Every structure is written in structure tokens, then in C-alpha cells.
Amino acid sequence: MTGGVNPRAKAALAGLRRGRIELRQSVTSAQDLWGALFFPAVALLVMYLLRGRTVPGTAFSLGSQAVPGILALNVVLNGMMALAMTLTMDREDGTLLRAKATPNGVIGYLVGKITGRAGMVLVGLLVPLVPSLLLFDGLRPDRLDTWLILAWVLALGLAAIMPFGAILGSLASSAQGLGVVTVPMMALMAISGAFYPVTAFPGWVQAIAQAFPLYWIGLGLRSALLPAGLSAAEIGASWRHLETAAVLGLWAVAGFAAAPAVLRRMARRESGSAVAARRAKAMQRLM
């Protein structure tokens, strides 16, 4: 009987195909597209109305300044919260159990889930970015720099947040259970400098914001899309690329260290009766 690396590699490849299939399903589903684009659509509309106000101390539009932060928020919503949500739903409907019943199926499932979700993050970033470039003055899509920075910040940002999305999805007993995380997420969104320069907040608020990836992804996207001069509005009057890479890298290392054990525990607990029990509970909630 063959065993070892080869079947696992094959499963990982199957996972990539799985990710492609699921991404195709998402981009052709009105519900999924709405989920991925609803927040930036609303936020960008608000910012468009505020485009006449300026960043304190500059002549730059406050609306334009907020665009990268909004996109960063959407990266976290699509990359972490939505990943957690699909994981709990896949446990409820038996998708994960099916993966467990298949040899190396959990590997394929996770590879598929992560690549498919990463694809949706790109959709959620690029689709709102295009109209933003037309609607807001001062964004800089014409530099090679912009796209290089965008690429590494996004790659490192996803590495930092996706393992935690998977962990949240594993720990929550149901999709409703994720509500607990939503409230602190909102608070974090408010203080992470997406809507208003973070330097306007007290020091301790800035410290909290800087502990989480959201702020750094936002900072990275601002450094990619905004004119160099606007770094003056940031902490330390700098885009702080080195610190961005360091903090996101730390989160990624922590996430990749913790996620496998949590995911294994979740997968180990899956069984037909566990799925049936969750379904019974979900039915009760409906009644």
C-alpha cells in the first residue's frame, strides 16, 4: 500500500482544485458577492460624501485617506471572519465530516478553504478598489511600488489572520457563537485608523490598535495607495514597513503554531452523531 508524502501531496493538489471550484461558486453567487462587497460599498459611499473634508494638517481629502483602511477592514472581514463562519457552517452541514471520512480529506479541505477564501479576499479588495480609483482623488495606482507593497502586505496579512479565522471557526460551537467575537472586532475597527487617523486617539488606544494585524494591514495599504507625504499623519510620521512586516510576521508564526492543534482537535471530535446533535440544536433555534 502506498502511503506517506505522495498521497498527502495529491490531497493538497486536490485541495487547490477544491479552492478553485469553491471560488467559482462564490463569485457566481449573488449572496456571497453581497457578503464580500456589502461593507466596502456602504463605507466607500459614506467616504465619498465626506470627500470634501481634509486630513488634519493637510489639504488631502479625508475620504481618500480612508479608502485603504476600508479595504483593509474588508480583508479582515473576508479573510478571518468569513473563514471562521464557513468553518462553523461546514461542521454543521457535515462538509468537514465528509472530509474526515476521505483519506487525507482534511488536508484537501483546509487547502481548498484557505485558497478559496484568499481568492474572495482578492475579489473583496480589487472590486471596490477599481471604482475607488475613479471616485477618489489622490490614490496612486500608477506606481509599480503600489502593487508590490499591496502584494506583500496582503500576503503577510492573510498569513497573519487566516490561521486565527480557522481557530475561531474551530472553537465556536455554532455560527451564532461567533457573535462574541464580532463586538470586539467592531471596537477594533473603530480604533484602527480606518476612518480617522489613529494619531488622533489617546496613546493607550493607539497601543491597543497596534497590537492587532488590522491596524498594520491598513497602514500597509495606506502606504501603497496614498502619496508619500501622508505618512506624516501616521504614528512616528512613517509608513513603518519594517514594523508592519514584523508584527504581521509574529501573528503569522503564532497562528501557524496554534492552528494545527486546534484544527486537529476539532476534526477529531467530528462524527455523525455530533453533526446530528448540532443540527437538532440549530432546528431548536429556528422554532
Partner 1 sequence: MKLSTSKFNETLEGMGSGAKTRSPGDDAEAVIETRDLRMRYGSAEVLRGLDLRVRRGEVVALLGPNGAGKTTTIEILEGFRRRSGGEARVLGVDPDDAGEAWRARLGIVLQSWRDHGRWRVRELLAHLGDYYAPYGAPGRPRPYDVGELLGWVGLTGQADAVIGTLSGGQRRRLDVAVGLIGRPDLLFLDEPTVGFDPQARQDFHELVHRLAGLEDTTILLTTHDLDEADRLADRIVILVAGTIVADGTAAELSRRVSGTAEVRYRLDGQAHVTSVEDATGHVRGLFERHADAITDLEVRRVRLQDVYLAMVREFESGRRTEAPRHLAEVTA
CB of 277 to partner 1, least distance (A): 12
CB of 102 to partner 1, least distance (A): 5
Contact 88, 175 (CB under 8 A): yes
Q: Which stretch binds partner 1 (CB under 8 A): 69-77, 154-162, 227-235, 268-276?
A: 268-276
Decide if residue 102 touches partner 1 (CB under 8 A).
yes
Decide if residue 271 touches partner 1 (CB under 8 A).
yes
Contact flags string 82-101 toward partner 1, x per CB under 8 A:
--------x--xxx-xx-xx
Taking CA atoms, 109 is separated from 72, 85, 99, 158, 269, in Å, by: 26, 15, 6, 18, 16
CB of 89 to partner 1, least distance (A): 10
3-state SS, residue 183: helix
Q: Enter the DSSP assignment of 61.
A: B
CB of 204 to partner 1, least distance (A): 46
Among the listed residues 79, 105, 128, 255, the single contact to partner 1 using CB under 8 A: 105
For residue 164, the one-letter residue type is: F
Count of chain residues binding partner 1 (CB under 8 A):
34
Q: Which stretch binds partner 1 (CB under 8 A): 12-20, 136-144, 147-155, 242-250?
A: 12-20
Among the listed residues 63, 69, 108, 213, the single contact to partner 1 using CB under 8 A: 108
Nine-digit cell string for 147: 502593487
Cα angle 178-218-54, degrees, rounded to a multiple of 5: 120
Decide if residue 270 touches partner 1 (CB under 8 A).
yes
| Residue tagged 474526515 (cell numbers) | 100
Residue 189: burial class (beta carbons within 10 Å; 0-12, 13-18, 19+)? buried
- Based on CB atoms, which residue is closest to partner 1, 102 or 231? 102
Cα angle 182-188-194, degrees, rounded to a multiple of 5: 120
Contact 272, 97 (CB under 8 A): yes
> For binding to partner 1 (CB under 8 A), which residues are involved?
1-3, 6-7, 10-11, 13-14, 17-18, 21, 25, 29, 90, 93-95, 97-98, 100-105, 108, 270-273, 275-276, 279
